Amino acid sequence: MRLLECVPNISEGRDRDKIASIAEEVKKHRGVRLLDYSSDRDHHRSVFTFIGEPEAIQEAAFAFTLKALDLIDMREHKGGHPRLGAVDVVPFVPIQEVKMEEAVQIAHEFGKGLGKRGVPVFFYEEAATRPERRDLPLIREGEYEGLTEKLKDPRWKPDEGPDHFDPKSGATVVGARFPLVAYNVNLKTRDLALAKEIARKVRFKDGGFLHVRAMGVDLKEREMVQVSMNLTDYRVTNIPKVYEFIKREALKKGIEVGGTEIVGLIPLGVLEGIAQYYLSCERFSLRQVIEQRILESD
C-alpha cells in the first residue's frame, strides 16, 4: 500500500471553529485519513496528521492550505512558537512504498502551486534547493515579524512565489522528510553528566550514528536520567542499534537501563526492523501482518 503522510503546522491554536473547518477540508478527500490533530493555545498553533495515497494527499494538502490561508490572519497572531506564516510548515513524509524522491517532487509541485497564489515558499530538508536551506530553524530565523527584511536579502529569495508577501499570510516552508522516531532510554542513576556523555556519543553531529539527534535529560520525579533521541531515518539507524549501544555504555559505568519509551506515532516498518534485528528473520514482510493486510484489502 502506498502511503504518504502530511503533517502541516498552522498559526491558529485557539479558535476551535476555524481549526475544525480547516480539518474538514482534509476529510472531504477520498482515501485521505485525518489521523490526528492537536492545538496549543500558548503557541497559538495546530498540527495536523493526515495520510493516504500520494496523489490524494497532495490534493488534500492544497485544499487544506487554501482554507487555512483564508481563515487565518497573521497580523493578529502572537504565540510562543517560531513561525513565518499562517500555514507555517508543510512536510510530506513517505511512510510506505513511497520513495523520498517522490515526496520531494510532491513538495516542489505543492510549493509551486502555492507560489502562484502569491505566497513566498521556502523548501527545506530533503526538498531543499541548497544546503543552507535544509534546516527549518534557520529558515524561520527572524520569524514573521522579520520577513520583510529577510526577503530583501538576495540569499533568501524564495524558492517559489514572489519576494514580497501578503501580510495576512506571511510565508510557508514546504518540505519532505522521513518519519521521525522519538525514542528515549532511561538510566537508573541521578548522574546527568552520564546521560549527556552518552547522548554525545550516540548523536551524529558528535561522531555517533547516522540520523540520530540526542540529548541528556534529568527525570527528577522518577529519580533517573534519560537519553532522549530523535531518529530521523529509522531505515538507516533504527531503535535496536541505539538501544544496545546505550545499554553497553551505561553498563561500563555499572548503570542499568530503567526502561525505554517510544513517543508518538511510528510507522509499522519500525517494529518490523526491531523484529529483523533481534530474530534474524528471513524474508519477513509487512504483508504478513494481519492489520497491514486489512489496509491493503480496502
Give 35 or 251: the residue with its C-beta nearer to a second copy: 35
**What grid cell was written down for 99?**
520513495
**How many beta carbons lie within 10 A of that of residue 136, not counting itself?**
20
Q: Is 259 in the site for a second copy (CB under 8 A)?
A: yes
Q: Residue 38: enclosing H or E segment and its boundaries?
A: strand 33-40
In angstroms, the CA 129 to CA 160 distance is 11
Give 36 or 153: the residue with its C-beta nearer to a second copy: 36
Stretch that binds a second copy, among 9-17, 39-47, 228-236, 265-273 (CB under 8 A): 265-273
Nearest to 120 by CA among 153, 57, 68, 163: 163
In angstroms, the CA 172 to CA 179 distance is 20
10 three-class SS:
strand
Stretch that binds a second copy, among 76-84, 103-111, 166-174, 260-268 (CB under 8 A): 260-268
Query: Is the C-alpha dihedral spanning 154, 160, 166, 172 positive or negative?
Result: negative
Contact 170, 89 (CB under 8 A): no
Contact 239, 181 (CB under 8 A): yes
Give 145 or 261: the residue with its C-beta nearer to a second copy: 261
Q: Is 248 in the site for a second copy (CB under 8 A)?
A: no
Give 16 or 278: the residue with its C-beta nearer to a second copy: 278
- The strand pair at 121-125 and 172-176 is best described as parallel
Shortest Cβ 262–a second copy spacing (Å): 5
Report 168-227 residues binding a second copy (CB under 8 A): 179
Contact 257, 244 (CB under 8 A): no
In angstroms, the CA 85 to CA 13 distance is 14
Known catalytic residues are 81
Stretch that binds a second copy, among 7-15, 66-74, 210-218, 257-265 (CB under 8 A): 257-265
Binding flags for a second copy, 28-57, as an x/- string (CB under 8 A):
-----xxxx--------------x------
Shortest Cβ 82–a second copy spacing (Å): 27
Q: Is 281 in the site for a second copy (CB under 8 A)?
A: yes
275 three-class SS:
helix
Residue 279, CB half-sphere, CA atoms under 13 Å: how many? 10
Give 71 or 265: the residue with its C-beta nearer to a second copy: 265
Stretch that binds a second copy, among 62-70, 130-138, 144-152, 277-285 (CB under 8 A): 277-285
Q: Is 138 in the site for a second copy (CB under 8 A)?
A: no
Q: Is 294 in the site for a second copy (CB under 8 A)?
A: yes
Please enumerate, as own/partner, the contacts of 140-147 that have beta carbons within 8 Å and a separation of 24 or more. Answer: 140/82, 140/83, 140/84, 140/173, 143/82, 143/83, 143/84, 144/74, 144/77, 144/83, 144/84, 144/85, 144/170, 147/84, 147/85, 147/120, 147/171
Binding flags for a second copy, 94-113, as an x/- string (CB under 8 A):
-xx-----------------
Shortest Cβ 298–a second copy spacing (Å): 8
| Residue among 4, 5, 178, 214 that touches a second copy (CB under 8 A) | 5
Give 220 or 293: the residue with its C-beta nearer to a second copy: 293
For a second copy, the binding residues (CB under 8 A) are 3, 5, 33-36, 51, 95-96, 179, 239-240, 243, 257, 259-262, 264-268, 271-272, 274-275, 278-284, 288-295, 297-298
